[in-house]
Amino acid sequence: MDGSVARPRPLLALGVRLATAATLATMAMLVKLAGTRGVHLAELVFWRQAITLICVAGLLATWGRLATVKTNRFGAHARRAAYGLTGMFFVYGAVMLLPLPEATAISFTAPFFAVLISVLFFGETVGRYRWGAVVLGFAGVLLITEPSFLGGGSDLVDPFGAAVGLIAAALVALISFQIQDLNKTESPWSIVFWFTAITAPISALAVPFVIAPHDPITWAIIISVALCGALAQILLTTSLRFGSAAVILLMDYTSLLWATWYGWSVFDQAPGANLWVGAPLIIGAGVLIAWRERQLARINALADDGREPESLADH
């Protein structure tokens, strides 16, 4: 909770990130389960944010750290909240519309959108490795969605659900840049606190129009969604504190295993055959981007130290 830099602990970071992936996959399963029990998407988003706000504020108050969320960048937090709230609707919408494995695989396209955003908005030069990864990743998406996009015989993945999933991934990528900027001056707890503090009241505006009575099991599912979301935030922050993002982010792909198991065991949905061809392409492309980002970071570090970079072959 202090501002010190933690000692790197790679194995701990990898373990925590594996737990993060499992928690996020569990949350996605619960979101889909809540949808099958008649919970409106807007109501689910409200409870997710409101309960997470209570948990985060409660922890900070217990630790005597509530004053640490004071900020001079409320405008930046508000912009992050606006995109984040919109992103939640698309992320949860994709989970409700698509089978879990397909929704999870499509969510892995976020790094590709991050590359596109870095070119379009930040003027970054992107070479053949990362452009190749983008092309490879979207080829994987086309393979997964082929039954509906290209007139195939399966109705497992519909074009609307796939479009929602791709928009969700693009928003996740955009939000990552906003969080990266906020991290320069704000603590992770401050970022999470202001995100929930701003979005919970806004999402509450829709609740009177969509709220419905629920049985105890449904309420338990709703609360579990929020608790999983809060736990995932804490685990994610911890993993980044003890390990390199370029390495531990690769653990996120294990969520596809959880999603496939949940899809089969909870919803009796076997993944489509195309998933096993398309998903490896998407994951491979993501690994390529992570590898290249690590290589570029080493080149930049050499340049900062006044040593000659080994290669700029990506440019």
Where do the structural domains in the chain lie, given as residue ranges?
A: 10-304
| pLDDT tens series, the chain, 315 aa | 444 444 566 677 778 888 888 999 999 999 999 999 999 999 999 999 999 899 889 989 999 988 888 889 999 999 999 999 999 999 999 999 988 888 888 888 877 787 788 777 777 776 777 777 777 777 777 777 664 444 554 455 678 888 899 999 889 888 878 887 887 888 878 888 999 999 999 999 999 999 889 999 999 999 999 999 888 877 876 776 666 555 566 677 778 888 888 988 888 887 777 777 777 877 777 777 767 666 766 766 666 565 555 444 444
Which tokens hold the place of 1? 């909770």
Q: What is the pLDDT of residue 5?
A: 43
Q: What is the pLDDT of residue 250?
A: 65
Q: What is the pLDDT of residue 247?
A: 57
Q: What is the pLDDT of residue 232?
A: 84
Q: Are 99 and 263 in contact (CB under 8 A)?
A: yes
Tally of CB atoms within 10 A around 64? 9
Tally of CB atoms within 10 A around 161? 22
Q: What is the pLDDT of residue 315?
A: 46
Of 27, 93, 11, the residue nearest 233 (C-alpha): 27
- Give CA–CA dist 226/51, Å, rounded: 6
- Give CA–CA dist 67/55, Å, rounded: 16
Cα 11 → chain centroid: 22
Which tokens hold the place of 224? 């579990």
Q: Are 193 and 57 in contact (CB under 8 A)?
A: yes
Q: What is the pLDDT of residue 218?
A: 95
Q: DSSP state, 163?
A: H
- Give CA–CA dist 77/189, Å, rounded: 12
- Give CA–CA dist 59/264, Å, rounded: 36
Tally of CB atoms within 10 A around 105? 32
Tally of CB atoms within 10 A around 116? 15
Q: Are 175 and 83 in contact (CB under 8 A)?
A: yes
What pTM value is reported for the model? 0.78
Q: What is the pLDDT of residue 141?
A: 74
Q: What is the pLDDT of residue 307?
A: 57
- Sequence-ordered strand ranges (E) for the chain: none
Query: How many angstroms separate the Cα of 31 from the Cα of each of 80, 170, 236, 256?
Result: 22, 20, 19, 16
Q: What is the pLDDT of residue 303?
A: 63
Apex 151 CA angle, 146 and 152, nearest 5: 60
Contacts of 79 (CB under 8 A, 6+ apart): 178
